[in-house]
C-alpha cells in the first residue's frame, strides 16, 4: 500500500473514525484503524464491534494494499503536522511497519494483521429511505437528552424510531425516556419508511451520528433491518447494531387530559430556573413552580445554603386555571426548554401527575416530565 | 499500686490472689484499670449459648448452630471449638472434625430477642452504645463514674454479671483507651473474659503480634505485607509515615498508626450497621444460569420482605456469589428507582448474574440492599414502566394473603418447583 493524501482531508476522516474507537480496549486490534487502498482509493475503517465507521478519503494511490495502525496515535501525529502538508503512507505488506512521511518528518508505526480486524457485516437491509440532515439533527437534539443510562432497563439506552400515524398523518416518530422524562418528536414520514420495524438506536450510535451531522448538509441515507442500521452521511458510512429489546408502551404514559395550561416566555423561564436553582449544588433538588392567575413563582431551597424565589407575572406569564404547586428537577426543565423556541407551554393535571411540555408554536415535539415531591 | 477489681463481687483494691470478700479468683489487675472507659462487648458463641441456655441437657455437649448438611456453621460452642469447629466453616467439614456435635437450625427471632435484652442493659450504662452486630457492641463510658458511683471497670463487671443472670449467656469484655484496643482486648480472654489494654503498654503489647490481628487486614493484605517483609505489628510500628506511604500505598500510614494501637474513631450510637440481605448455600454447587436464578428468586422475596418489615426500600442491589473454591464475588447496580418489589430486585440481580455465568460453579448466592431509603420513596410511577402501580397492587395482595395464611399460601410461577 502506498499513497499520498492531503493532511486536512486525512485528518478529518481520521477524526471521524477514531471517535468510535474505545479508549480502553481489551482487544488490541479494536484500538486500530484499518487503512485500505483499492483501485487507487483510500478507505478508513474503525469499529468497536457495535458500530463501524467507514470513510473514503481523496488520495493519490500508487499501490494497493491494507494494514491496521493505532487510531489514537495516528490521529495525534497527523493533527500535529503543519497545515497544508502532504502525508505519504507506505506499507510494503505483511507485518512490516507502516511508514508515514510528511516533509522532513518520518515515523514508523507497528501494525496488526488486517485478517484479525473484525468486519461488521450489515447483512441485508431491506428498508431504505433518506432524511434531510437538518431534520435528523433536530430529531436527535430534541430526544437524546432523555436517553437513559441505567443498565437494568437496557432497552431505554437509545432512541426508539418507528413509523406511525398522528392525527391521520403518517409520521416518523422518535422517542426516548429514562423514566423521569420522555421526549417524542415527529417528522413527516420519508418515502420508503412506511413499513420499517420499530428500532432502538443505541446512545453511542446516536452521538457519533450527531457529530457527523455537524458538518453535513443535504440528505442522509438510512438503511435498516431488524438488527442493523446503516447511515450514509457524505463520505462516511456508519453501520450499527440495534438494541435488541422491547421499548415500553410509551403512549400510555402521555397524559391526554391535562387542562391547566401555562404559557411563558422560554428565556424568562429558563433564566429564572437557572437563577433559583443556583442556591443548591445538589442536582436532584427540585425547583418549585407555584401558580396562580397569570402569576408564576419559582422557588428553590437548600437546608445548607438558604432559599431563592423569582416571580414572573402577567406580562410574561399566561395562566388561568386554579392555584397549583409542582416541583421538577432544574436540569430536566432546562434540557427541555433548550429545545424550545420563544414560548413554552406546560399542561398540568395536578402537583403529583406527569406534566406535558411543548413548544407553543411547534407541535412536532412533545415532552413529558414526572414531578418531584416539594 | 496496681488497681484491682474482683469480677465476682465487685470488691476493689484487692491485693491477694483470692478475693477476701467472696473467695473469688476472677480478679482483674491493671495500672490503668480505673482510668479506661471504652469497652468492647462480645457475646461468647452467641447463638450456641442461647440454645444451651434453653436446653440445659446440652450444656456439656458440643453444639453447632447452622443450616442443613451443606450449610455453614453460624456459631459453635466452645466445646465444639476444641475439635476445631469454626464459624463460617462448611457443615460437612465441621461434622468431620466433631462427629458427635448436636446441630441446631438457627432460630433468629430468639437470638434477636436475647440481643435486644442485652442492648437494653447496655443502655442503662451509657447512651453511647454502638451496636456492631447482633452479638457485639462498643460502649463509651466516659463521664459515667459519678452517675454509677463506680469507675467504668466496676460498672462493666457488674454488667457482665447482670447479663449472665438476666439473659443467661456469657460475654467477654475488652476495656481500653480506644475502640481498636478494646476490640483486641475483648478477643484476648474469651470466653467469659475481661481483658484490659492500657495506653502505656499498647505498643509493646502489639509489637510481637502478627499483622492479621488488626481488623481489616485479611489474608490478601497479609500476604502483600509479608512479601514486603512486614509480618508482625512491630514491623509496621517501625515505619515512618513517609516510608509507609511509599512502601504500602495510600493506606500505609493508617495501618502504621493502628499497629501502634492508635485509633480516633468515636463511639457513635447512630451508626448502627444498616445492611439488609438474604443468602443461601446450595446443597450442591450450581453453575447454570437457570438454576442460580431459581435460587435467587426466593431470596429476592425474602429481601423485599425484610426491607418492608424495617420500613426501608432500596436504591440499589448487591449480588453476592461464592465460588466452589470459596472465592467471593460481589457486584452492585442501581435500580431504575427506589423499590421494595421482589421482581424489581430480582431483575436487577439477574442482570448482574448474567455477566458472571462463565462455567464457574458457585456454592452460595445472596442478594442485598445497597442504599437504604425510607419506604415511602418506593415504587413511584415511572414513565418507562407504566405498570408499576399494578405491580405494587399485586405485591400488596400477595403480602396480605401471606400475612393471613403463611408464605406458602400463594407464590409466583417462577417460585414454583
Domain boundaries, chain A: 2-116, 127-252, 254-369
Residues 348-367 of A with CB under 8 A from B: 354
Which of A148, A151, A253 has the CB atom closest to B386's CB atom?
A253
Put residue B74 in one of left, alpha, beta given phi > 0 → left and psi -120 to 50 → alpha: alpha
Quote the pLDDT of residue A315: 86
| 3-state SS string for B192-257 | CCEEECCCCCHHHHHCCCEHHHCCCCCHHHHHHHHHCCCCEHHHHHCCCHHHHHHHHCCCHHHHHH
A228-259 residue pLDDT tens: 999 999 999 999 999 999 999 999 999 999 99
Per-residue pLDDT for A157 more than 60? Answer: yes
Domain at A2-116: CATH code: 3.10.150.10
Quote the pLDDT of residue B1: 57
Work out how many CB contacts closer than 8 A connect A with B.
47
pLDDT band, very low/low/confident/very high, at A86 (cuts 50, 70, 90)? very high
Cell of B323: 465460588
Per-residue pLDDT for A329 more than 60? Answer: yes
User: Are the beta carbons of B334 and A252 separated by less than 8 Å?
Assistant: no
C-alpha span between B267 and B319 (Å, rounded): 30
Quote the pLDDT of residue A271: 95
Residue to substitute from B384, B387, B389, B391, interface A, most A β-carbons within 10 A = B384
Determine contact: B374 vs chain A, CB below 8 A: no
Residues 303-342 of B with CB under 8 A from A: 333-337
Q: How many other CB atoms are there within 10 angstroms of residue A180's CB atom? A: 20
Contacts of A367 in chain B (CB under 8 A): none
State the average pLDDT for chain A.
93
Determine contact: B383 vs chain A, CB below 8 A: yes
Domains with residue ranges and CATH for chain B: 31-200 (3.30.70.270), 211-259 (1.10.150.20), 277-415 (3.30.1490.100)
In order of A289, A293, A310, B389, the CA distances from A297 in angstroms are 6, 11, 6, 32
Quote the pLDDT of residue A164: 96
The superfamily in CATH containing domain A254-369 is DNA Polymerase III, subunit A, domain 2 (3.10.150.10)
> Where are the strands (E) in B20-78, listed by range?
27-30, 38-43, 63-66, 73-76
CA dihedral sign of residues A189, A193, A195, A196: negative
Contacts of B336 in chain A (CB under 8 A): 150, 152-153, 179
Stated length of chain B: 417
Q: Which of B230, B140, B384 is nearest to A154 (CA)?
A: B384
Quote the pLDDT of residue B178: 95
Quote the pLDDT of residue B273: 52
How are beta strands B63-66 and B102-104 bridged, if at all? parallel
Per-residue burial over B35-44, b if 16 or more Cβ lie within 10 Å, else e, is ebbbbbbbbb
User: Are the beta carbons of B384 and A181 separated by less than 8 Å?
Assistant: no
C-alpha span between B254 and B40 (Å, rounded): 21
Determine contact: A198 vs chain B, CB below 8 A: no
Quote the pLDDT of residue A143: 97
Q: Fold match between A2-116 and A127-252? A: yes
Determine contact: A157 vs chain B, CB below 8 A: no
| A287: β partners | A328
ipTM of the complex: 0.80
Per-residue pLDDT for A313 more than 80? Answer: yes
How are beta strands B328-339 and B312-323 bridged, if at all? antiparallel
How are beta strands A181-188 and A169-177 bridged, if at all? antiparallel
Determine contact: A256 vs chain B, CB below 8 A: no
How far does Cα B371 stand from its chain's mean position? 19
Determine contact: B381 vs chain A, CB below 8 A: yes
C-alpha span between B323 and B381 (Å, rounded): 38
Quote the pLDDT of residue B393: 85
pLDDT band, very low/low/confident/very high, at A224 (cuts 50, 70, 90)? very high
Least confident of A304-308, A322-326, B69-73: B69-73
Residue A347: CB partners within 8 Å, gap ≥ 6?
A255, A258, A259, A260, A261, A355, A356, A357, A358
Which class would CATH give A127-252? alpha beta
C-alpha span between A24 and B112 (Å, rounded): 49
C-alpha span between B48 and B76 (Å, rounded): 6
Q: How many other CB atoms are there within 10 angstroms of residue B253's CB atom? A: 17
Residue-level pLDDT, tens digit, chain B, 417 residues: 578 899 988 888 777 788 888 888 888 999 999 999 999 999 999 999 999 999 999 999 999 998 755 577 888 999 999 999 988 787 888 889 999 999 998 887 788 889 989 999 999 999 999 888 788 999 999 989 888 989 999 999 999 999 999 999 999 999 999 999 999 999 999 899 999 999 999 999 999 999 999 987 877 788 888 888 899 999 999 988 888 888 887 778 888 999 999 998 888 876 655 678 999 888 889 999 999 999 999 999 999 988 887 777 899 999 999 998 888 899 999 888 899 999 999 999 999 999 999 999 999 999 999 888 877 778 887 898 888 888 888 888 888 788 778 777 787 777 765
What residues of B are annotated to the active site? 136
Which of A150, A152, A179 has the CB atom closest to B383's CB atom?
A179
Amino acid at each position: 500500500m502506498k499513497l499520498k493524501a492531503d493532511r486536512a482531508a486525512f485528518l478529518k476522516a481520521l477524526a471521524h473514525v477514531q471517535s468510535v474507537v474505545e479508549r480502553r480496549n481489551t482487544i488490541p486490534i479494536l484500538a486500530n484503524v484499518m487503512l485500505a487502498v483499492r483501485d487507487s482509493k483510500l478507505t478508513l475503517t474503525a469499529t468497536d464491534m457495535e458500530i463501524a465507521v467507514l470513510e473514503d478519503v481523496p488520495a493519490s494511490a500508487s499501490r494497493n494494499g491494507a494494514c491496521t495502525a493505532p487510531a489514537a496515535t495516528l490521529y495525534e501525529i497527523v493533527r500535529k503536522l503543519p497545515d497544508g502538508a502532504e502525508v505519504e503512507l507506505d506499507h510494503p505488506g505483511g507485518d512490516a511497519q507502516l511508514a508515514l512521511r510528511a516533509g522532513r518528518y518520518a515515523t514508523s508505526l507497528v501494525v496488526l494483521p488486517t485478517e484479525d480486524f473484525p468486519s461488521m457485516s450489515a447483512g441485508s437491509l431491506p428498508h431504505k429511505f433518506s432524511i434531510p440532515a437538518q431534520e435528523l439533527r433536530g430529531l436527535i437534539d430534541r430526544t437524546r437528552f432523555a436517553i437513559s443510562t441505567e443498565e437494568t432497563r437496557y432497552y431505554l439506552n437509545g432512541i426508539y424510531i418507528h413509523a406511525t400515524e398522528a392525527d391521520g398523518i403518517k409520521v416518523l416518530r422518535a422517542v426516548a425516556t429514562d423514566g423521569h422524562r420522555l421526549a417524542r418528536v415527529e417528522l413527516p414520514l420519508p418515502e420508503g419508511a412506511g413499513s420499517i420495524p420499530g428500532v432502538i438506536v443505541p446512545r453511542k450510535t446516536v452521538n457519533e451520528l450527531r457529530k457527523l451531522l455537524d458538518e453535513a448538509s443535504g440528505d442522509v441515507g438510512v438503511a435498516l433491518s431488524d438488527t442493523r442500521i446503516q447511515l450514509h452521511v457524505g463520505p462516511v458510512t456508519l453501520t450499527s447494531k440495534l438494541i435488541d429489546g422491547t421499548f415500553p408502551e410509551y403512549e400510555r404514559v402521555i397524559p391526554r387530559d391535562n387542562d391547566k395550561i401555562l404559557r411563558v416566555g422560554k428565556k424568562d423561564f429558563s433564566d429564572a430556573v437557572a437563577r433559583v436553582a443556583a442556591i443548591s449544588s445538589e442536582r436532584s433538588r427540585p425547583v418549585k413552580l407555584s401558580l396562580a392567575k397569570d402569576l408564576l413563582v419559582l422557588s428553590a431551597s437548600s437546608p445548607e445554603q438558604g432559599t431563592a424565589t423569582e416571580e414572573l407575572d402577567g406580562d410574561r406569564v399566561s395562566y388561568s386555571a386554579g392555584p397549583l404547586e409542582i416541583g421538577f428537577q432544574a436540569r430536566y426543565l432546562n434540557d427541555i426548554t433548550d429545545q424550545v423556541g420563544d414560548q413554552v407551554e406546560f399542561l398540568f393535571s395536578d402537583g403529583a401527575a406527569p406534566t406535558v411540555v411543548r413548544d407553543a408554536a411547534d407541535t412536532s415535539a412533545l415532552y413529558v416530565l414526572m414531578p418531584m415531591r416539594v | 499500686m496496681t488497681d484491682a477489681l474482683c469480677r465476682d463481687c465487685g470488691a476493689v483494691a484487692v491485693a491477694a490472689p483470692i478475693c477476701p470478700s467472696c473467695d473469688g479468683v476472677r480478679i482483674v489487675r491493671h495500672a490503668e484499670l480505673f482510668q479506661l472507659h471504652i469497652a468492647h462487648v462480645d457475646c461468647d458463641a452467641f447463638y450456641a449459648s442461647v440454645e444451651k441456655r434453653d436446653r440445659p441437657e446440652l450444656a456439656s455437649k458440643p453444639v453447632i448452630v447452622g443450616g442443613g448438611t451443606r450449610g455453614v456453621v453460624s456459631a459453635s460452642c466452645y466445646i465444639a471449638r476444641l475439635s476445631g469447629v469454626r464459624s463460617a466453616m462448611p457443615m460437612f467439614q465441621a461434622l468431620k472434625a466433631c462427629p458427635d456435635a448436636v446441630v441446631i437450625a438457627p432460630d433468629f427471632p430468639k437470638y434477636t430477642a436475647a440481643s435486644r435484652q442485652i442492648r437494653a442493659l447496655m443502655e442503662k450504662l451509657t447512651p453511647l452504645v454502638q451496636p456492631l452486630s447482633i452479638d457485639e457492641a462498643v460502649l463509651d463510658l466516659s463521664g459515667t463514674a459519678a452517675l454509677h458511683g463506680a469507675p467504668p471497670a466496676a460498672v462493666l463487671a457488674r454488667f457482665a454479671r447482670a447479663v449472665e443472670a438476666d439473659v443467661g449467656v456469657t460475654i467477654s469484655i475488652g476495656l481500653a483507651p480506644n475502640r481498636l484496643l478494646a476490640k483486641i482486648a475483648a478477643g484476648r480472654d474469651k470466653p467469659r473474659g475481661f481483658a484490659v489494654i492500657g495506653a502505656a503498654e499498647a505498643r509493646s503489647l502489639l509489637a510481637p503480634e502478627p499483622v492479621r490481628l488488626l481488623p481489616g487486614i485479611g489474608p490478601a493484605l497479609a500476604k502483600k505485607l509479608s512479601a514486603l517483609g512486614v509480618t508482625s505489628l512491630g514491623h509496621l510500628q517501625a515505619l515512618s509515615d513517609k516510608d509507609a506511604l511509599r512502601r504500602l500505598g495510600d493506606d500505609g500510614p493508617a495501618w502504621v498508626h493502628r499497629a501502634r494501637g492508635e485509633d480516633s474513631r468515636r463511639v457513635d450510637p447512630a451508626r448502627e450497621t444498616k445492611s439488609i440481605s438474604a443468602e443461601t448455600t446450595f446443597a450442591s454447587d450450581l453453575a447454570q444460569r437457570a438454576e442460580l436464578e431459581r435460587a435467587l428468586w426466593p431470596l429476592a422475596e425474602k429481601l423485599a420482605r425484610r426491607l418492608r418489615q424495617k420500613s426501608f426500600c432500596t436504591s440499589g442491589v448487591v449480588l453476592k456469589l461464592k465460588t466452589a473454591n470459596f472465592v467471593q464475588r460481589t457486584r452492585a447496580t442501581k435500580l431504575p428507582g427506589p423499590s421494595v418489589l421482589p421482581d424489581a430486585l430480582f431483575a436487577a440481580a439477574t442482570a448482574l448474574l448474567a455477566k458472571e455465568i462463565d462455567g464457574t460453579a458457585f456454592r452460595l448466592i445472596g442478594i442485598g440492599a445497597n442504599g437504604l431509603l425510607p419506604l415511602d420513596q418506593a415504587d413511584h410511577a415511572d414513565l418507562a414502566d407504566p405498570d408499576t402501580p399494578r405491580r405494587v397492587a399485586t405485591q400488596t395482595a400477595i403480602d396480605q394473603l401471606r400475612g393471613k395464611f403463611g408464605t406458602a399460601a400463594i407464590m409466583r410461577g417462577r417460585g414454583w418447583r
